[in-house]
Amino acid sequence: MIEVKKLTKWYGRTLAVDNISFHVKDGSVVGFLGPNAAGKTTTLRILTCFMPATSGSAKVQGFDVFTQSVEVRKRVGYMPENAPLYPEMRVREYLMFRAALRGIPGQQRRKAVDRAAEQCWLSKPESMMHRRIDQLSRGYRQRVGLADCLLHDPPVLVLDEPTIGLDPAQVREMRNLVRQLGENHTIVLSSHILAEVEQVCGEIIIIAAGRIAAEGTPAELRRRVTGPSRVIIELRGEQPETMAKVLAEVPGVVDVQHARAGNWTRLTVQGPEDDDLRPAVAQAAMQKGYSLRELRREISSLEDFFIQITYQQSMGAASPAGAEAS
Amino acid sequence: MRKVLTLARRELSAYFFSPMAYVVAFLFLLTVGMLFLWGLKVPFLKIRIEPVFRTGAESTLRPLFDVLAYGLVIVVPLLTMRLMAEEFRSGTIETLMTAPVTDTDVIGGKFLGAMALYLLLLAATGVFFLLVVIFGQPDWGVAGMGYLGMILLGASYVSVGLFASTLTGHQLVAGLIGIAILAFFTAGLYLLVLVLPGSYGDAISRANMINNFSYFPKGVLDARSVVFFITITAFFLFLSVKVLESRRWR
């Protein structure tokens, strides 16, 4: 369990994290989503005791990250961005070193290394374990970093941008791996790619300009996005204003806007929430004998939502994260 | 303590994977060998050191140690500059400091690792001492004191070098800072004494590392010097821990 209360971090005169509070339940996989420099890494670094917060508190598994730092470190596996490793060491040598650092007793070290390596699919060709780290591909290096996190079998994993810099196949592997680990670990990971967080995480915390812009399950967030239903229709037949008036009379329609699209008129019909206006709108157009070129329901993606709220935040707009996507 | 040793072992083995250590060791041993066989003559600086290994010479490594005390001002920072600077540069500091180890463990491990390499280098000079043993009758007590002095001097040099390495993420800068601090405590203070009047000069020359060291190869065990080197070492290790701690607050 992770409990963060009013966490704030200043770097000199720059505010990196601004009064963040959140809660991560045991066994959940939470994604920190935000553009670069939003404060994701800073938050994770505070959670993993790499640096202290300026104010506020954070507890991991009931231990305070500042006053009980060593206890927290024993219970957290942290993979920093880019998984920094010692390039001159060999994989097994590195993992054995890390196991010793984590206080795993001598007899159990080998076992712990083998288990972690297997979990991260590092052990398949045995030769992999004897390779020098600087000769490994990015994907493998990332796996070594992850194996390092798993050595002491921590209940909490903190992964900073686990897929950054990987090729698409490696990204998919890493995601599967995280999903698999999520079955019996509490995981906090950060990413700036929405699709990734959406696939892997049960909960998303969107962070922008040091603040939490939105949080919830992917489904909850999506509901906020696709709030009122909107239908886009392109027609030809009468003056735009007349056609707009006709559509406005369709039952359930709240608002109609029109714009020219070449010889055609493009109308945006706003309806109530969770109601599909397409059949009614099409029928109204048919009755008037308009020619119809396009008819679709506008579903703004979570991606739009993400971009929009992070954009709002970074522009300093005070308005709450709205659901309307352009 | 076990973690300190784990860290120290990794540090020592990392030396053997980096070309720097080999280059420095090569130059170090080459210099020692040349001094031993041929001595050193720099006429315009009025430096004249007779070869250690010659007939009729005192069977001791003392002249060698006297030169090494200055030579190590450059050699040791080159060996220690990597210690922390490389961790900062490559980002491994993050994995290191989020493992359940304290700042003191890290500094202690780095110090012992570098110290182990220094002792290996020093042990290599044993070859020359062996020749002295074979061809002369050295005073074992004096030789032992010489080596004790080299160990104490080395420890304080390594702690200064390590401290310099905690200050920056650039190895070369760390090396230069280390050399500068050591140069100040040796040649710098020597020059300062020439400028300042009597009583100040006396106090300052007591802070000179070389002065404190010079008793040892003569076979004199001066408790003040032993305490001096232990204090210097402890002080710079303490500073290193504090700098490492303070880095997190930035």
H or E stretch at B41: strand B40-42
Q: Where are the extended beta strands (E) located within chain A?
A: 2-11, 14-24, 29-33, 55-60, 63-64, 76-79, 156-160, 186-191, 203-208, 211-216, 228-236, 255-261, 264-273, 291-298
Q: Do A104 and A62 fall within a single domain?
A: yes
Cα of A316 to nearest chain B Cα, Å: 25
Whole-complex ipTM: 0.87
Domain range for A251 is 228-298
Angle at A138 between CA A137 and CA A142, to 5 degrees: 120
A319 pLDDT above the threshold of 60: no
B113 pLDDT above the threshold of 80: yes
B93 pLDDT above the threshold of 70: yes
A193 pLDDT above the threshold of 90: no
A300 pLDDT above the threshold of 80: no
Question: Do residue A78 and residue B6 have CB atoms under 8 angstroms apart?
Answer: no
Site from B11, B12, B86, B95 to mutate, A interface, most A CB atoms within 10 angstroms: B95
The verdict on residue A185 lying in a domain is yes
A153 closest CA partner among A188, A197, A108, A189: A108
Among A72-86, A121-135, B3-17, B211-225, the least confident range: A121-135
pLDDT for the residue A91: 93
pLDDT for the residue A317: 42
How much of chain A, in percent, has pLDDT values that exceed 90? 27
Read off the pLDDT of residues B165-224 as tens digits, 9 standing for 90 and up. Answer: 999 999 999 999 999 999 999 988 888 888 877 777 788 888 889 889 988 988 888 899
Question: Do residue B14 and residue A88 have CB atoms under 8 angstroms apart?
Answer: yes
Contacts within 8 Å (CB) and 24+ apart, A2-6: A2/A47, A2/A58, A2/A59, A2/A60, A2/A61, A2/A156, A2/A186, A2/A188, A3/A58, A3/A59, A4/A43, A4/A47, A4/A56, A4/A57, A4/A58, A4/A59, A5/A56, A5/A57, A5/A58, A6/A55, A6/A56, A6/A57
Q: Which of B6, B18, B90 sits opposite A100 (nearest CB)?
A: B6
Read off the pLDDT of residues B132-156 as tens digits, 9 standing for 90 and up. Answer: 888 888 888 888 999 999 999 999 9
Q: CB-hemisphere CA count at 13 Å for B70?
A: 8
Q: How confident is the model at residue A58 (pLDDT cuts 50, 70, 90)?
A: very high
Residues from A contacting B (CB-CB < 8 Å) are 11-12, 45, 48-52, 70, 73-74, 76, 78, 80-82, 84-89, 97-98, 100-103, 145, 148
What does residue A217 show for φ and ψ, rounded to 5 degrees?
-75, 160
Contact assessment for residue A249 and residue A284, using Cβ atoms and an 8 Å cutoff: yes
User: B92 at the A interface (CB within 8 A)?
Assistant: yes
A321 pLDDT above the threshold of 50: no
Q: At B82, is the secondary structure helix, strand, or coil?
A: helix
A111: CB partners within 8 A, 6+ apart: none
Site from A67, A86, A88, A89 to mutate, B interface, most B CB atoms within 10 angstroms: A86
Q: Do A132 and A240 fall within a single domain?
A: no
Q: Do A186 and A280 fall within a single domain?
A: no
User: B227 at the A interface (CB within 8 A)?
Assistant: no
pLDDT for the residue A253: 83
pLDDT for the residue A312: 66
Is pLDDT larger for residue A120 or for residue B197? A120
User: B6 at the A interface (CB within 8 A)?
Assistant: yes
Q: Which of B7, B91, B101 sits opposite A84 (nearest CB)?
A: B91
Q: Do A103 and A235 fall within a single domain?
A: no
Query: Mean pLDDT, to the nearest integer, of B4-11?
Result: 94
Question: Do residue A100 and residue B248 have CB atoms under 8 angstroms apart?
Answer: no
Report chain A residues whose CB lies below 8 A from the CB of B3. 100-101, 103
- Total structural domains within chain A: 2
A159: CB partners within 8 A, 6+ apart: A78, A79, A146, A149, A178, A187, A188, A189, A190
Q: Check which CATH number belongs to the domain holding A262 and give it.
A: 3.30.70.100
Site from B16, B94, B103, B246 to mutate, A interface, most A CB atoms within 10 angstroms: B94
Q: Check which CATH number belongs to the domain holding A55 and give it.
A: 3.40.50.300
How do the domains of chain B map onto residue ranges? 2-248
Q: Where are the extended beta strands (E) located within A172-326?
A: 186-191, 203-208, 211-216, 228-236, 255-261, 264-273, 291-298
The verdict on residue A219 lying in a domain is yes
Q: What is the mean pLDDT of chain A?
A: 84
How much of chain B, in percent, has pLDDT values that exceed 90? 52
The verdict on residue A305 lying in a domain is no
Q: Do A161 and A71 fall within a single domain?
A: yes
Cα of B82 to nearest chain A Cα, Å: 13
A111 pLDDT above the threshold of 90: yes
A160 pLDDT above the threshold of 80: yes
Distance CA B22, CA B20 (A): 5
Q: Do A108 and A248 fall within a single domain?
A: no
Q: Do A12 and A98 fall within a single domain?
A: yes
Cα of A91 to nearest chain B Cα, Å: 13
Contact assessment for residue A157 and residue A186, using Cβ atoms and an 8 Å cutoff: yes
A323 pLDDT above the threshold of 50: no
B111 pLDDT above the threshold of 90: yes
How much of chain B, in percent, has pLDDT values that exceed 70? 99
The verdict on residue A319 lying in a domain is no
Contact assessment for residue A295 and residue A232, using Cβ atoms and an 8 Å cutoff: yes
A169: CB partners within 8 A, 6+ apart: none
The verdict on residue A324 lying in a domain is no
pLDDT for the residue B11: 93
